[in-house]
Amino acid sequence: MDIVLTGTGSPIPDANRAGPSTLIKAGDTHILVDAGRGVVMRMAGAGSMPFFLAAVLITHLHSDHVTDLNDVITTNWVMTQGNGNLAIYGPPGIAQFVERQMHSLEPDIGYRIAHHAVLTEGPKVTVTELAPGDAFSLNDVSVTTAATVHAPVHPTIGYRFEHEGATAAVVGDTIPCAGVDELTTDVGAYVQTVIRRDMVEANPNPMLQDILDYHSGVVEAAQTAARNGVKRLVLTHLVPAPTPDQYPEWIARAAEHFDGEIVIGDDLTTITL
Q: Closest separation between CB of residue 152 and Zn ion, Å? A: 10
Residue span binding Zn ion (CB under 5 A) among the ranges 76-84, 91-99, 166-174, 228-236: 166-174
Question: What's the CA gap between 183 and 29, in Å, rounded?
Answer: 20
Nearest CB to Zn ion, comparing residues 107 and 152: 152
Q: Closest separation between CB of residue 161 and Zn ion, Å? A: 20
Question: What's the CA gap between 189 and 169, in Å, rounded?
Answer: 6
Nearest CA to 144 out of 154, 159, 131 is that of 159
Q: Is 34 in the site for Zn ion (CB under 5 A)?
A: no
What secondary structure letter does DSSP report for 266? -
Angle of helix 69-79 relative to helix 94-104, nearest 10 degrees, comes to 60
140 is catalytic: no
Nearest CB to Zn ion, comparing residues 58 and 273: 58
Nearest CB to Zn ion, comparing residues 64 and 220: 64
Residues of span 168-227 touching Zn ion by CB under 5 A: 173
Residues of span 39-78 touching Zn ion by CB under 5 A: 62, 64
Torsion of CA 251, 1, 92, 49, to 10 degrees: 100
Size of the site for Zn ion (CB under 5 A): 3
State the catalytic residue, choosing from 64, 68, 173, 267: 64
Could you count the other beta carbons within 10 Å of the beta carbon of residue 99? 11
HEC string for 145-178: EEECEECCECCCEEEEEEECCEEEEECCCCECCH
Q: Closest separation between CB of residue 263 and Zn ion, Å? A: 19
Q: Closest separation between CB of residue 243 and Zn ion, Å? A: 20
Nearest CB to Zn ion, comparing residues 17 and 62: 62
What residue ranges bind Zn ion (CB under 5 A)? 62, 64, 173
- Active-site positions read 64
